[in-house]
Structure 1
Amino acid sequence: MSFKLHFFAYVPFCYLRFIFLLFFLDLLVYTSSNRMEGKSSYSPLSLEYYDSPNAPERVRVRDRVMISEGEHTSLQCSADGNPTPTLAWTRDIHTHNRTARTLASGLGVVTLEVHQAVWADTGVYLCHAKNVVATVPPVTTKLIVKQPVTGVMGMSGGRGSWAALGTSGRLLCRMRAAPKPTFVWTTHDGTKLHNSEKYVIHAPQLVDGLVLWSSILEVRHVERRDYATYRCTAHNGLGSHSTTVALSPPSRPHPPVNFTVFNVTAVSVSLAWTPNFDGGMPRGYTVKYRQKGSSEYQLVQISGGNTAGTTLSGLTPGADYLYTIQARNEQGASAYVSPPALVTMLGVGAKAGSQAGGAGQSRVPRLMLLILTLTGAALLVLNVAIIACFVRRRSVNRSASARKCNHGFGLAGQCINAQDKGANMSTLCCSLQGVY
């Protein structure tokens, strides 16, 4: 009975140790994963119960808010959910050159205050909602600060389009304004243009959904006299702005811009560029390159006027190369980009070392997980061995106790058989019996 009580008292203790072991391993994996991700802080564990939890829903914001410069406004966002969702306002980084930092936050309701509004506050704002159940996609609202008409960078006078004789030419004019501007097109001598068989003025379009507007003048059945400069004027209640746009005959394209090298290996190089539509429409490109110290050029023809990159292979490891590019169309070719780009190819050893380093970094998380798994398995085997040793020891002790009892019963029997041999022998045997 004593063995059973001790054993069953020990087993729950072993189970508790095993549970503690699993908790320790889970904490170790969690800590290691946080360190791999660059986190160094530890968060306390908290358990909360929610009746019928659900994700945030019915996130409510105003779709569009327009205010005057210098005014104050509030952007409010609210949402339902169980538990009550956490809300936060951020600004769309794709419409403004800023980081997506939190501007305001709250529980269930959040209000973003805008004081002394300026033109730069115009943009798309996002309300984010989340709770322990889920994070829902953000809901957007557009804040527009009224502003007079201003020109757009890159749309100044002199830039235009081209068209062949007998075809149609399209001239584009872009302006920033709020509220919506009115566009007027005139010829170089001031004659106002209206919709007709010759000219079509397309309705203004809101390009970015905020303040960027565009107007297109289409010139049909182009004749030589139509190759001229046209004036685009836009105005709203706050001001006006004008720019000139030229319609030209087909011409050679301009050289591409932003010619760069973005990937270099031992035997290949990747090139990138931006098509240039200021001149004639490009139909393809020619990449010219040579090894430094050599006068022999290699030419690579690339089709497609919208193509913006290519990769050259079969190069010499460790060598220096000079690369340049030109655009071409039916009217001819542009000048080559100058100066050419000088690139040193990687050596074979440098490439191999780079690949080996990357592979070593990718193996680090797997090695860590393998070590944690083996450690957990070793601790589990150790606990099983301790339980087995305890059971064996109790079994050995029980067998030894049984042998002592059997030996004691044998001596007692001898005492009983020897009682008739005298009082002294009887006393001695009884003493031995008392000992056992």
Structure 2
Amino acid sequence: MSFVPTLDDDGKPLVCRAQNPNVSALFLETSWLISVVYPPVVRLRLGSSLAAGDIKEGDDVYFECHVRANPPARKLSWLHDDLPLVHNASARVFHSNQSLVLQKVTRRSSGRYACSALNAEGETVSNELYFRVKYAPSCRSGGVAVVGAARGESVVIVCEVDADPPAAVFKWKFNNSGETLDVAADRYTSNGSASSLKYTPVADLDYGTLSCSASNEVGSQLAPCVFQMVAAGKPHAPRNCSLWNQTADSVEVSCAPGFDGGLPQRFLLELYSGDDTVPRVNLSSSEPVWTVRGLEWDVRFRLAAVAVNAKGRSPPALLDDVLFRDPEKRTAGPRREIIRPRIHQTANVKEIMCQSQIALECSSGESSYDTTRPTRASARASVTVRHDISHSCATTDE
């Protein structure tokens, strides 16, 4: 007899019987219990007392991993989005026999779950079970957002929230330290996870704090999204730009920041050569300090320092005629390095500098400015500095 057992035959008896058909009550038989070895058969289910569609943040849940295997499984593992999920009491993740317990679930608990079992015949991964955790709305971007607008300027403020299911109701409020007002519902539009408000400040009292909150079937948003309305415009140009730490082919440019226009600002340094209108180098920084490298000898450069915010660019602070001399072309005589030209904001300052005649000579609106000791290896640079003024004391090479 040829017999191929299946998983269902495991543990059942196999009987061989001899019997005389004429004497039905008399027979001889022997039997063997069949042991069928096979890799684990695994099935994952959500706890029988739980409703999959009603799980929300803060609930306790459990999964049951049903395993059938011969020989018995010697290892049981859990997976969350294909990554191992280990026993972790601090994260409220517990393994108990063939169960996985998650306490006080959060939105990060959502995802695909599976269990796997291992025995001598192999390892099997269960079916994937998608687990959804519902939660009340929360602001998508943390912190206070600063929104700048001039008087009479209309801006559209977008309030975005994360929620499952999507937010059903949005509410806006305005506070100017004197009072808190509800914004009429016809002044904003809402669509799923976002609400948009068009706002136009016309007086000082229209600057303050706008807040937005949402709610869904799980509950209301705990902390609103906050927007700080400020009177804003383009930033002012950087001030007092100077050259520092000059080497043969590099220089550091340092400026003082001007008024930011009421908004966060960044700083750009653009380098031009000759009559170019497109910068050869464009550097960005959170502070008005840059290092320009790879400068060529005997080529005149122009540097423009600019501040930028959400409203636009400032006028440039210009450093004209930046020239690096080849050290081998120097002639005999005193050597002087010009590496710290200052931007002079007012005519009075320039007059004082011109009249002082201390390390500085002014003639026909031009000046020479010497601030460092001679060095053997460094190149010489000459610079003319302008900052939106028609009459300037400019530094030139001596």
User: Which structure has more helix as a fraction of its residues?
Assistant: 1
Which structure is larger by alpha-carbon Rg, 1 or 2? 1
User: Which structure has more strand as a fraction of its residues?
Assistant: 2
Fold conserved between structures, TM > 0.5: no
**TM-score (structure 2 length as normaliser):** 0.34
